[in-house]
Amino acid sequence: MMTTSYELPRGDAFHAGTFVKTTSAQTIEILGGCGLDFAVLDAEHAPFDRAAIDLAMIAGRASGLPLFVRVPDRSAAGLLSVLDMGAAGVLVPHVESAEHAREVVAHCRYVGGDRGYSSSPRAAGYGALGMKGAIAEGDRNVVICQIESAPAVEQAQRIAAVAGVGGIFIGRADLALSMGLDDAQHPRVFEATEHVIRAGLAAGSTVGMFVGSTAEREKYLALGVRWFVQGSDQSLLRQGAQAIARSNSSRTLQA
């Protein structure tokens, strides 16, 4: 039976994935054949209910694509739900402190945590793994905390150093808003981003972030970021459609 195990990149290696914002299992199947290291279901900003996440997980297993879920909040019930359905890990928004991070990790862990156990969900192999196997498998789920406010920037190294936190993820848009800005590319946001990268690396944590292009990915790769969410299924669809539209326009002008 295929497991949900996923390991964050080590050393100079990096992983690249994309956000999924449309509730289509076929999208997951397509992405699964494209060589991505992972994808992230955006249950914070897209209309993913439990049924949609469940179908996506089936498609992810079938296509061999590890799926993370960006959950709407830090609640124990929400984290339990997506992990039981077979998520490789969770991307948790608005983690502001080490205490928040410890709570998140506790909700995601059986041993030393408070994650409720059941042998019946996909994560436990529908009973096939047995209790010992299911616990061992579940406690390998990856926890990534989002740093996306000015206070969280100051706490970034403490958050990254919490046992069980696999990585920290810089959310530049909300970070800009928390700084009274409406530009995620503002120099102050870049300065804060650099601070978080240094803090994460100092804590021995994997640092991740969203990028809009391969060129931007290369820029932050040089700074030590190793886990990239690049674009989304929506942006990939839009870019492809726009390329077709421009092509049709060119042919019309040439005719």
Domains in the chain, please, with CATH? Answer: 15-254 (3.20.20.60)
pTM (predicted TM-score): 0.94
Q: How far is the C-alpha of 52 from the C-alpha of 46, rounded, in Å?
A: 11
Q: How far is the C-alpha of 15 from the C-alpha of 6, rounded, in Å?
A: 11
Q: How far is the C-alpha of 82 from the C-alpha of 210, rounded, in Å?
A: 21
Q: How far is the C-alpha of 207 from the C-alpha of 228, rounded, in Å?
A: 9
**The pLDDT value given to residue 255:** 46
Q: Which of 77, 19, 17 is nearest to 50 (CA)?
A: 77
Q: Which of 106, 116, 16, 126 is nearest to 61 (CA)?
A: 126
Binning pLDDT at 50, 70 and 90, where does residue 5 land? confident
The answer to whether 176 touches 193, Cβ cutoff 8 Å, is no
175-228 confidence digits (pLDDT tens): 999 999 999 999 999 999 999 999 999 999 999 999 999 999 999 999 999 999
Residue that is written with structure tokens 């295929």 in the block: 2
Tell whether the model's pLDDT for residue 253 goes beyond 70: no
The helix/strand/coil state of 216 is helix
What's the average model confidence in pLDDT over 101-109?
A: 98
The helix/strand/coil state of 3 is coil
Q: How far is the C-alpha of 193 from the C-alpha of 209, rounded, in Å?
A: 9
Catalytic residue, chosen from 45, 94, 100, 195, is 45
Q: How far is the C-alpha of 228 from the C-alpha of 209, rounded, in Å?
A: 5
User: Is 94 in the active site?
Assistant: no
148-177 confidence digits (pLDDT tens): 999 999 999 999 999 999 999 999 999 999
Which phi and psi angles does 228 have, rounded to 5°? -115, 130
Contacts for 183-189: CB closer than 8 Å, 24+ residues apart: none
